[in-house]
Amino acid sequence: MLAIVAPGQGAQTPGFLAPWLELPTFAARLDWLGTVAGVDLTHYGTGADAETIRDTAVAQPLLVASGMLAALELFGHPGDAYDKVGVVAGHSVGEITAAAGVGVISAETAMVFVRERGRLMAEASAVRPTSMTAVIGGDRDEILAAITAAGLTPANNNGSGQIVAAGTVEQLATFAENPPARTRLFPLSVAGAFHTKHMKPAVARLDQLAGGITTHAPRAKLLSNADGQVVHDGQDYLARLVNQVANPVRWDLCMQAMADLGVTGMLELPPAGTLTGIAKRNLKGVELFSLNTPDQLDDARAFVDAHA
């Protein structure tokens, strides 16, 4: 069984879309989606520096557009994918990519929604300096206890070997002074404490906007970050997208669901590497493919056919 996954914020790197713009269809579609979102995605994906694309209002539309358009190059038409893909999931903002990929929302709706999501989360982040830190290694229970004791939130539970703590910069600094045993801490390239109470101001407005969005039932199995469950109703998934902004990402449960479903191959859409890296530690025996450049497309199609 084939899983297609879409990464979340922090995966972006300067210039990662430059090779893709050599494909005329990708370049034209990126121009169109950038116009829909009111964001110069071509510039941000090719010429902007790391600090610029770290901005939440930039990174989120850029990531969603990248994943959607790479999937179109991979399959040619969404309908080509539905008979081959067993399950789809996205990490954090990657859930919007996933939703569009299985037809819950249109690509244009996805771009408007992610533009507003990014803008509102950036505004919420500006209220007070907050951030996120990946905690690598150590004992899971000890890490969770230490995160809670520091007043932080385990915003991303990424399975064995990685939990992301989020909160104010002061709380994270204190946490770093006395980290849990046998762990390494890595500050993430994000501009706020996403998936925590600090994002609640964004949820109310997104909920209002969701009332005007038309959805459809997923055309393939679609997992939710909230609990790793397969969601069958488009409106249910949209409500989960809204609420997930201020609630932890349970990617560990998404991977467990993939294992339970019998996934044999996982392909990560660009900018790829984060989720396949996590899967190496958590989905033993599952073949992995990180799609990052268009010269990999033929190999990616072969990978898809092997696990379809």
CATH number of 136's domain: 3.30.70.250
Q: Looking at residue 144, what is its pLDDT?
A: 95
Q: Are residues 37 and 183 in the same domain?
A: no
216 is catalytic: no
The CATH number of residue 19's host domain is 3.40.366.10
> pLDDT tier at 285 (50, 70, 90 boundaries)?
very high
CA atoms lying within 13 Å on the CB side of residue 182: 7
139 shares a domain with 42:
no
Q: Assess whether 227 and 159 both reside in one domain.
A: no
For residue 230, give the DSSP letter: B
Same domain, 222 and 102: yes
Phi and psi (nearest 5°) for 196? -135, 180
Q: Are residues 150 and 291 in the same domain?
A: no
Which pLDDT band, with edges at 50, 70 and 90, does 146 fall under? very high
Exactly one of 92, 125, 131, 290 is catalytic; which is it?
A: 92
Cα(266)–Cα(255) distance, rounded to whole angstroms? 10
- How large is the average pLDDT for residues 274-284? 95
Do 111 and 170 sit in the same domain of this protein?
Answer: no
* 104 and 213 together in one domain: yes
Host domain of residue 151: 127-187
Chosen domain end from 145, 161, 187:
187
**Which of 93, 96, 120 is CA-nearest to residue 199?**
120
What does the alpha-carbon distance between residue 114 and residue 120 come to, in Å, rounded to a whole number? Answer: 10
pLDDT at 189 over 80: no
Question: Quick one: 98 and 232 in the same domain?
Answer: yes
Q: How far apart are CA 101 and CA 66, in angstroms?
A: 12
Domain final position from 187, 218, 238: 187
Q: How confident is the model at residue 161 (pLDDT cuts 50, 70, 90)?
A: confident
Active site residue 43: no
Contact (Cβ atoms closer than 8 angstroms) between residue 180 and residue 139: yes
10 class by beta-carbon count within 10 Å (0-12 exposed, 13-18 middle, 19+ buried): buried
Total structural domains in the chain?
Answer: 2
Residue 226, pLDDT above cutoff 80: yes
Given 66, 91, 125, 195, the catalytic residue = 195
Q: How many angstroms separate the CA atoms of 85 and 92, rounded?
A: 20
Q: Within this chain, do residues 151 and 122 fall inside the same structural domain, yes or no? A: no
| pLDDT higher than threshold 80 for residue 300 | yes
pTM, two decimal places: 0.95
Please check the confidence at residue 79 and state whether its pLDDT lies above 80: no
Euclidean distance between CA atoms 280 and 246, whole angstroms = 28
Model confidence at 221, pLDDT cuts 50, 70, 90, reads very high
Residue 11 has pLDDT above 80, yes or no: yes
Domain endpoint, select from 187, 210, 236: 187
Terminal-residue alpha carbon distance, the chain: 6
Residues 231 and 136 in one domain: no
Taking residues 114-126, report their average pLDDT. 94
What is the C-alpha separation between 235 and 223, in angstroms, rounded?
14
20 in the same domain as 134: no
pLDDT in tens, 15-55: 999 999 999 999 999 999 999 999 999 999 999 999 999 99
Same domain, 34 and 179: no
Q: Token pair of 192, please? A: 């706020």
